[in-house]
Amino acid sequence: MNLPSKSESLYRRAQAVLPGGVSRNAVLRAPYPIYASHGQGCRVTDIEGVERLDVANNMASLIHGHAFAPIVEAVTAQLRHGSAWNMATEVEVEYAEAMTKRVRGFDRIRFVNSGTEAVLCALKAARAYTGRPKIAKVEGAYHGVYDYAEVSQTATPTDWGAPDHPASVPVCSGTPRGVLDDVIVIPFNDPARAVALLDQHADRLACVLIDPLPHRVGMIPASDEFVNAMHAWARRNDSLIVFDEVITFRVGFAGAQERYRVRPDLTALGKIIGGGFPVGALAGRADVMDVLNPLRQPLLFPHSGTFSANPVTMTAGLKAMRHFDQPTVDRLNALGDRVRRQIAEAIAAEQLPLSVTGAGSLFRIHPTMPAPANYREAFHTPAQAALKQRIVDAALERGVLLIESCSGALSTPMTESDIDELTDVLADSFRAARPQSEPIGA
């Protein structure tokens, strides 16, 4: 008789107490989630004792991989002093100084507890500053689970509407109609259509929310034309530009925004700036950030959070960012170029209908050819979704943990030989995932 594995037994217990047996949908996989035991550097070991190359890095949040010694030491020392108080701390000031020095345009910063909260606060700050109710966002872009920010994130061909008028599709059942009416959905990298849509709500729009490398939209960089057009539109219409750099801050020393001529008014941050601990932050122009200033009367945006800027996260985050200096960013991004180039070569060699996109230390493999240019093109048919899943599963069996969308985020402990190992496994996984009956079409 086959005994259940440790993971299978744990999952049975979990199903009795957690909805669907999980606390976050991202870890769910058939037939049951993998339960982690420990990690070191760029390797993670599950509770069955299987070690894998970790290219998921907790959804791109671990820039230095696992158990990075400087963070472990600093956080351990901090824990001996305590983990949170009803008092401010020196380390939050030190970290705020480091971040405002690091990024031109980060005049002020407020630390919060997640990327969702950072986006939520950015949108509320934009509304408070402009006195306007509506926000615009890119079709299909993921920005966390705030009602307004998540609109259209799961739109499908049956409900996404015409290309020049994308529908405001709710994600969560019960989303109020008012939320949908106050979110203007714009197509990615399509300045003409986007501006035409924004113009229809010009005097009601608080901000345009843009992820400069939106994962679910295809992980293609926002074009200069698109960003410039959105920025110019916002300037003409007294609106604001908010960047969501929760994932993309890793792409440059000062985030993905450093490569554009224009800068956002506000930026939402998260993931890597927590050094492995829960985090978010909102940073930007001093006059806009002043809506959060409790010394100001009237206070336009009262905001608090029990664990905001807690010293454990601040200590870990400060260490993580100090060790993510310009040479380290450059080295990691060169590994990113290498991985994307080698994946493209493997795809060409296998002659499969796949493509690869990404930038910096991020990549995404698509079960489509050519690479998608926007959310609608990145949307999978059932056959494409099945091909993607076979690749993710084959890679897992061969010792590589990818993000379930068939994406990856590199970490600084990785070397060229880790990248070569990764791309060898991926090439082998492409072969294993090859469909039995061609073609992978519509």
Q: Which spans of this chain sit near ligand PLP (rule: CB under 6 A)?
A: 59, 114-116, 119, 142-144, 211, 215, 244, 246-247, 270
How many DSSP H helices and E strands does the chain contain? 14, 16
Give whichever of 187 and 274 is closer to ligand PLP, judged by the CB atom: 274
Which residue of this chain has its Cβ atom nearest to ligand PLP in the complex? 115
- The CA distances from residue 260 to 68, 90, 104, 193, in Å, are 32, 33, 12, 21
Per the structure block, which two tokens stand in for 150?
A: 């998540």
Task: Provide the b/e sequence for 120-155 (b: ≥16 CB within 10 Å).
Answer: bbbbbbbbbbbebebbbbbbbbbbbebbbbbbbbeb
Choice between 24 and 80, CB closer to ligand PLP: 24
Token pair in block for residue 377: 């093109």
* Minimum separation from the CB atom of position 336 to ligand PLP (A): 17
Q: Which is nearer to ligand PLP, 246 or 371 (CB)?
A: 246
**Cβ nearer to ligand PLP, comparing 28 with 93:** 28
Shortest Cβ 145–ligand PLP spacing (Å): 7
Residue 92 belongs to what H/E stretch? helix 90-102
Shortest distance (Å) from residue 366 CB to ligand PLP: 17
Unique residue bearing structure tokens 């992980």: 219
Q: How far is the CB of 212 from ligand PLP (least distance, A)?
A: 10
DSSP conformation letters of 366-401: ESSSS--SSHHHHPPPHHHHHHHHHHHHHHHHTTEE
Question: Least distance (Å) from ligand PLP to the CB of residue 4?
Answer: 31
How far is it, in rounded angstroms, from Cα 266 to Cα 222? 17
Output the smallest distance, CB 118 to ligand PLP, in A.
7
Angle of the 326-350 helix axis to the 416-433 helix axis, nearest 10: 30
CB of 211 to ligand PLP, least distance (A): 5
SS3 186: strand
| Backbone phi and psi for residue 51, each to the nearest 5 degrees, phi listed first | -95, 140
Which residue's CB is nearer to ligand PLP, number 250 or number 285?
250
* Closer to ligand PLP by Cβ: residue 121 or 246: 246
Of 281 and 352, which CB lies nearer to ligand PLP in the complex structure?
281
